[in-house]
Amino acid sequence: MKNLLYALAIIIICLFNSCRAQYQVLNKGVAGNNSSDLLARVDKDVVANKPDLVLLVVGTNDMINSGKFNSLEKYFENLRSIIEKIRTGNPKVQIVVSSILPVEEAYLFKRHDPSKFPIKPNDKIDALNAELKDFAAAEQLGFIPLNEEFKKYGTDYRTKQSLLVNSRNYSVDDGVHPTAQGYEIIGKYFAQQLKEKRLLKRKMLILCFGDSITYGAFIEGKGTAEGNTYPAVLLRSLNGGKYR
């Protein structure tokens, strides 16, 4: 009788585990990339991996990296081509785009000539995010308002508590890339949004496609879904409980 009960317990545990959500997350972020760079590598880094869901975060370099500028028109042209290639590879794939983060302009202008910005960097970012939301609706994409969520935690990026890297919380007045705490907020927010928008299924391969924000500049685990990158936080958040 004891052996029978033990066997039944093992079966129940196995059935329970098989019903739990099991997600895989790939980090396909490359530092310094703009939308043109993502278009050039989408076949190799996205289509070839056959993901079930693609989480796309790109546009920062297009807007604020003076060596990688793209106009809004070129950005959306690239984005449309990226999406077309992904859908051609897998018509059933879910594609989610996120608004891009704000920056600390004072730090940015230490590395980039202010005269190259007739429009303030954060104004350019806000313009892109507004159009991106409409673009996502038109293209039937999921949209995550990350910029708005990030700003809820404070917009003074020169303090030690800043969610963007500076010399008080790290080692350099960067003002573009998140701190470990910032990445933690991003990863958990993405997990929350994917659940709330009912975009998750069991045993999905989620591919995070983007620039240095996805890559995890300055952070342990950069380029992977380990350590403190947002793909790592996303993976832990999704696999931390039963799919509902």
pLDDT per residue as tens digits for the range 52-108: 999 999 999 999 999 999 999 999 999 999 999 999 999 999 999 999 999 999 999
Rounded to two decimals, what is the model's pTM? 0.90
Mean pLDDT of 9-15: 40
pLDDT per residue as tens digits for the range 130-166: 999 999 999 999 999 999 999 999 999 999 999 999 9
Q: Is 108 buried (19+), middle (13-18) or exposed (0-12) by CB count in 10 A?
A: buried
Question: Whose CA is closest to 229, among 168, 175, 170, 186?
Answer: 186
Written as one letter, the residue type at 135 is F
Task: Determine the angle formed by the axes of helices 35-45 and 72-89, rounding to 10 degrees.
Answer: 10
How would residue 240 be classed by pLDDT, with cut points 50, 70 and 90?
Answer: confident
- Please name the fold of domain 21-238: Rossmann fold (3.40.50)
Tokens of 34: 């703009």
- Is the CB of residue 176 less than 8 Å from the CB of residue 64? yes
Q: Is 90 buried (19+), middle (13-18) or exposed (0-12) by CB count in 10 A?
A: middle
Mean pLDDT of 188-202: 96
Domain layout of the chain by residue ranges: 21-238
- Is the CB of residue 140 less than 8 Å from the CB of residue 86? no
Question: Whose CA is closest to 104, among 44, 35, 162, 30?
Answer: 162
Tokens of 13: 């545990």
Give the C-alpha distances (Å, rounded to integers) separating 107 from 30, 114, 175, 177, 242: 22, 11, 6, 11, 42
Is residue 20 over pLDDT 70? Answer: no
